[in-house]
Every structure is written in structure tokens, then in C-alpha cells.
Structure 1
Amino acid sequence: MFQTNKRVPVALVAGLLAAGAITLLDGSPAATAVSSAECVDENSAARGRPGSSGHERNEISDAQAAEMNADLRKKVMEANQRGGVAALAAGGTINVVFHVVTTADGKGSIDAATIAKQIQVLNDGFAGAEAPGVAANTGFTFALQETRYHKDDSWFNGGADNATTERAMKTQTRVGTASTLNIWSADIDGFGFATFPSWYSGDPKMDGVVIDYATVPGGSEVNFNLGKTVTHEVGHWMGLWHTFQGGCTKTNDEVADTPAQKSSTSGCPEGRDSCRLAGLDPIHNYMDYSFDDCYNQFTPGQNTRMQSAWTAYRSGK
């Protein structure tokens, strides 16, 4: 998701552009791959783990976006042919395993009451409860299946920022299937990052969300301590891209009802309009980089895309 001062291509198969398949993806009849992605404003907060570009791992390239979108369309078309799309609007209950990583002396510990608040924040976001009548009620609910505590100094102290240590942590602790949401909290360089659903089949033990422990409700991270880092990262885990993916293009994040924006948002600048295309920047969307108290919604189009990705990659697996 983002950083603060704290610290292949798949060929499109013939017929994939059939109206039904595209509608299942994002509600628009003519979505195409993104192009001309913009970088983050130099003064913007970057909500996530820096990658090779200096930004979050979930800030994907145009080529990655095109590949992922083509695969999703293919999978949804296959589900349509099997008659499996009836579940697309149903949502469902997602079991959560919360891994609290601490130092040997307990730094980073999160109590049960705070974890309960975090799950409630996640549920409120996916239910559209923060902006009734505007935000989508996705139908997805999250149920805490288990909380696990792991004392390991190397894992807690930036371990998830190191590929080798991250793999050790996840492979030793992850539980469940593709439909089980594993969340790890630790002290990381940034606020959070997530795996996309299409990555699961190739590396299932790495699947899940990592957050900085200071971003949970009541945490110490100023402007980002209402628990909405988890909501943002779970959006990625469910198949959403950032709202600023693709920059000022008509397709941007492949969701028709999120207006294009040139770059990520910092703070909560009402009326920000960074593109000449129609619509103000979606600064209240969970998939931007706004402050936690600015976030309040997923859109119906984002919900459709999440339902499609759930059916394609996670449901029943």
C-alpha cells in the first residue's frame, strides 16, 4: 500500500471481449488493458512496501496489469461457460487468520479487543457502512477464525521487507486455502502490502496481507491508525488495483465507475481533479492513498471485479 517519512504476457483468447465477460469484470462493455501509468506524486504518501520502483509492491506495471487482466477475463469466461457465474453477486464469508508477530520481549503485541475492532473496520468497509447509499455493499463478510502469536525478532523487525525472511515467516505460519485470508502484523518499511489472487496458484504459501502493527485501530501511526490499511490491502487480495493505475486513461484501473486520476492522493483534498477526463479524483476510495479518515467506499464496479476475481481464483479452493 504505501510508504511515509517513517521509514509473460497472456494472449487474449478469441471471444474474451464478448459483452458478458467484460460486464462480469468491471461493468463496462469495452474495457481494455491499461496504458501510460503515472508515477506517484513526489509529495504523496505511498501506502505500502516499496518495490523496485521505490513504491509499493502493489503498484504494478502496465505489462503486469495487462497480463493479469487478460487472465482474469479468461477465467471468468471459463466460469461463465461452466455456469459458475451465478455466484458472482453473492459475496460470502471469508475466514481470517490473524498472525501477530512480536519481538521476544513482546514489542508489537496486539490484544484481542484491537483485533476485533480491526475485523469490524474491515467488515464495515466491505458492507458499505461508512457511506450508505454511495458505497457498495459487497456481500463479503470476514470472520476471525484464529489469532496466532509468533515471537521472532527477525520476522518482526522488518523481516517482511526481506524476501527470504518473508518467505520463511509465511511458509512456517500460513494456514488454510486460497479462500482463507491470512494477515500478518509486524514492523515493516511502509504500511502494508498484499498478494493478488492470480498469484495464489503459483505460490500459495506466500498468499496474504502484511501490515505494519502501528496501523491497526488505535495504533501509533498518525493519520493511518483507524485500521483501513487492512481494508486497502484486502482490496488488493480480492483483485483490485489502485484507483490511479493507468493514470489519465479511460481504462485506468479497469473499473468504469472510478474516475481516472493522474497520481495517488495524499491527505484528503476535496475537489482534487488531476485528469481532464470526467469526474473528480476518487479520494474517498479505499484503493487510493488517502488518510484513513478520508476513506469510506468501494464502488459497485469494484465490487463486480472482486466478485469476478473471487470466483476465478479463490472460491471453492
Structure 2
Amino acid sequence: MKRVGKCAVLGLAVAATVSIPRLAEAPVATASPAAWAEAFCTGEEDVHARDEHEQARVRYGARVIEPGSRTSAKVAEQVERELDRQRIAGRLLRVADDGKWINIPVNFHVLHNGGKGKVAKKALLEQIKVLDAAYRGRKGGYNAKINFYLKKVTWTENADWFRNPRLHEADFKKELRKGGDSTLNVYTADLGSELLGWATMPWDYKKDPARDGVIIHHSSLPGGKIKHYSLGYTAVHEVGHWLGLYHTFGRDPGKDGCKVGDLVGDTPAQKQPTNGCPKKAGDSCPSAWGRDSIHNFMDYGYDKCMTEFTKGQAERMRTAWKRYRA
């Protein structure tokens, strides 16, 4: 396992505590190097498997229930401990963020029913450009220094998979998915009239690698036919989950937005998702600092309203990458 190998090479480790409601810098442990090594490399009970870990994006006014959109408190707590360990290990080695680019190969798997949903390669290349622009801060947000490049495209004609990807997800992922934990597999299909996409989280890869990836509505690609959601930002949003980000309105939507939030220090607490593209940001958590992040890629606004990741989100993605996918 990669992480064990890193422990053997580093010869050190850390002990950290979860920081809830909002993530704070954990103090550097003062124990001996041997104690650090034991704390960092000894595995705890793995509570990641089969958690309701997926995240989803839905259209304005949707009534559909997001598939597994909530992350349990038990899993979230262990994840934060692991990310804190990764941060502390980086600080001890003075490589907390070395500034190197993260290069992610992308496999697109186009599910279609004859001509319906048979997305052309040109549209997929446009989607790669949108991902690059978003994650490099070209829309106005922070540059996370994450680069995407197209590795492979498959086209699969299967009416059942295309029309009901939620039901057949395990089947088509088992057959089509390629690459390891650092390869992004994106599947396009018809997700219906309300759901736009969903994704797995990085900490779930170890227990269920075949399920890893992102599924998006084929009409949400750049130039698609879904009104307000055809600029390619559904993929940007879902890839954010794949890289370790929660929604801006909480890891348990509808319940913990104001109290826990997304565990990123520079995104204001937010109780509910943004609908549409309001001219002025609301303040759904008036007792906390800041107004709702209506332009953040991890909210639910219209594509034209989404423009940014914050520095804190970029740092979280890079930390999660090193911990779970590097």
C-alpha cells in the first residue's frame, strides 16, 4: 500500500485531533520520532467502507433525493484526523505544499442509446478546458495548480445503462473503469430531469476502487441543452467532491451547514444551497462570519454564477490528493 511505503521512507508520523465545527491548524506533536511513526502509520478502524459518501448536484427546484449525499459524522471525523496527519507530516518535512502541479489523467466513458447521448470527442475536450480553467483560477478564484488531460474515451451503446445509471452504476463501472486511484473516470449518461451528477470521495477508494469516479448528465457538458447548466460546471463541482471537498452548505446538507459547514476555514458557514444566480449573496447563517458563497463551485448556483474555489479549498484538495490519491 502506498501510504505504508511512505511511512517506511519518512520514518516519522503524527498525532492529530479532528477540528469541528471548522477545521483549524492542528498543533505539531511533541512526542518522540518513534511515537510519531506509530501514530501516523498504525491503522485505525476503517469506517470508510459503504458509507453514504457520494455527493450530488441537482437543478433548481429539484425534488429528487441526492444519491447518498450525506457523509456520516463517524467517517467525517476519521477523515479529518487523517488529513490533519497529512498536514503535520508535511510541515515536519517542510513540504506542506511544494507548489508542484498535480496532473490528472481523465478517462471519459460515454454511455449512449444510439444517437442519443453519443457525445462527440470535441465536447469532451471542451470539458477538459473548463476543468483546467476552474482549477487554475482563471475564472477568478484561487489557483489550485491542478491540471487535467484527456487520456482515453470510450463510447458504449447500452440503453439501460444510459437511461438509468443509478441502477446500473456498479455494472458499467466494473466493465469500463480504468486506472488507479489517481486516474479520474468520468461517465456521461441521462440522469433525468432533476439530477445533474454525483461523485465518490477520495477516502473511499481503498475499500471500493471499482466504484471510484464521477457521473454527469451528458447535457451538462459545454454546449449542452440543459438551461442554466450547460457550461460544464457540473463536472467541476463533482470533481471537487472527487478531490475531497464537501458542499459549501455542509457535509450533511440541510442539517449541519451553520454548525459544521464544509470544514474549510475561508468559506463562510452556509445553511442551504444557492438556487439560481442571485444578485446579492444571502446570509443563511447570520451568527457566523460572512455571506453565502454564491459563486463557489461547490454550491448549487447556475453555471454562469459559479466562478471560484478558495485558497482553503485548494489546500484541502491538495492535502487529500497526497493522503489518498498521490
Give the TM-score, by structure 2 length. 0.77
- The alignment status of 1:263 with 2:272, answered yes or no, reads yes
Summarize deviations over 1:164-206 as a string: whole Å, max 9, x none: x211100100001110000000012411000100010111111
Q: Shift of the alpha carbon at 1:66?
A: 2.4
Return the letter of the residue paired with 1:96.
V
Match of 1:101 in 2: 111
Summarize deviations over 1:253-303 as a string: whole Å, max 9, x none: 110100001111101222211111111100100000111100000000000
Return the letter of the residue paired with 2:135.
F
Match of 1:180 in 2: 183
Aligned partners of 1:248 and 1:260 also within 8 Å = yes
Structure 1 runs (4+) deviating above 6 angstroms are: none
Provide closer, same or farther for how the CA distance between residues 29 and 86 of structure 1 changes in structure 2, counting only shifts above 3 A: closer
Aligned partners of 1:76 and 1:312 also within 8 Å = no
Higher radius of gyration, 1 or 2: 2
Return the letter of the residue paired with 2:188.
S
Aligned partners of 1:182 and 1:208 also within 8 Å = yes
Query: Which runs of 5 or more residues in structure 1 are unaligned?
Result: 1-12, 32-42
Match of 2:100 in 1: 90
Q: Shift of the alpha carbon at 1:70?
A: 2.7
Match of 2:308 in 1: 297
Return the letter of the residue paired with 2:186.
I
Relative CO higher for 1 or 2, CA cutoff 8 Å, sep ≥ 6?
A: 1
Q: Which SS does the other structure have where 1:144 is aligned?
A: strand
Q: Shift of the alpha carbon at 1:74?
A: 3.9
CA distance in structure 2 between the aligned counterparts of 1:184 and 1:64, rounded to whole angstroms: 26
CA distance in structure 2 between the aligned counterparts of 1:30 and 1:272, rounded to whole angstroms: 31
Aligned partners of 1:106 and 1:151 also within 8 Å = no
CA distance in structure 2 between the aligned counterparts of 1:170 and 1:114, rounded to whole angstroms: 22
CA distance in structure 1 between the aligned counterparts of 2:91 and 2:176, rounded to whole angstroms: 35
Return the letter of the residue paired with 2:101.
G
Aligned partners of 2:14 and 2:85 also within 8 Å = no
Match of 1:3 in 2: none
CA distance in structure 1 between the aligned counterparts of 2:174 and 2:282, rounded to whole angstroms: 42
CA distance in structure 2 between the aligned counterparts of 1:211 and 1:225, rounded to whole angstroms: 11
CA distance in structure 2 between the aligned counterparts of 1:236 and 1:145, rounded to whole angstroms: 21
- The alignment status of 1:28 with 2:38, answered yes or no, reads no
- The alignment status of 1:140 with 2:159, answered yes or no, reads no
Provide closer, same or farther for how the CA distance between residues 199 and 87 of structure 1 changes in structure 2, counting only shifts above 3 A: same
Decide which moves more: 206-215 or 89-98.
89-98
What does 1:1-317 correspond to in 2, within 5 Å? 15-17=15-17, 28-29=24-25, 45=61, 54-77=65-88, 83=93, 85-86=95-96, 89-103=99-113, 105-131=114-140, 135-158=141-164, 160-162=165-167, 165-189=168-192, 190-245=195-250, 246-249=256-259, 251-269=260-278, 270-276=280-286, 277-315=288-326
Return the letter of the residue paired with 1:187.
D
Summarize deviations over 1:23-62 as a string: whole Å, max 9, x none: xxx983369xxxxxxxxxxx96469xx5xxx234333343
Return the letter of the residue paired with 2:247.
H
CA distance in structure 1 between the aligned counterparts of 2:318 and 2:304, rounded to whole angstroms: 26
CA distance in structure 1 between the aligned counterparts of 2:214 and 2:94, rounded to whole angstroms: 27
Return the letter of the residue paired with 1:150.
T
Match of 2:45 in 1: none
Decide which moves more: 148-157 or 84-93.
84-93
Q: Which SS does the other structure have where 2:322 is aligned?
A: helix
Q: Figure out how many residues of one structure are paired with residues of the other and give that number.
A: 272
Return the letter of the residue paired with 1:137.
N
Q: Shift of the alpha carbon at 1:220?
A: 1.2
Q: CA RMSD in A?
A: 2.6
Aligned partners of 1:76 and 1:311 also within 8 Å = no
Query: Which runs of 5 or more residues in structure 2 are unaligned?
Result: 1-12, 28-58, 251-255
Aligned partners of 1:255 and 1:305 also within 8 Å = yes
CA distance in structure 2 between the aligned counterparts of 1:86 and 1:75, rounded to whole angstroms: 8
Give the TM-score, by structure 1 length. 0.79
Provide closer, same or farther for how the CA distance between residues 84 and 197 of structure 1 changes in structure 2, counting only shifts above 3 A: farther
Aligned partners of 2:112 and 2:156 also within 8 Å = yes
CA distance in structure 1 between the aligned counterparts of 2:173 and 2:264, rounded to whole angstroms: 31
CA distance in structure 1 between the aligned counterparts of 2:206 and 2:62, rounded to whole angstroms: 28
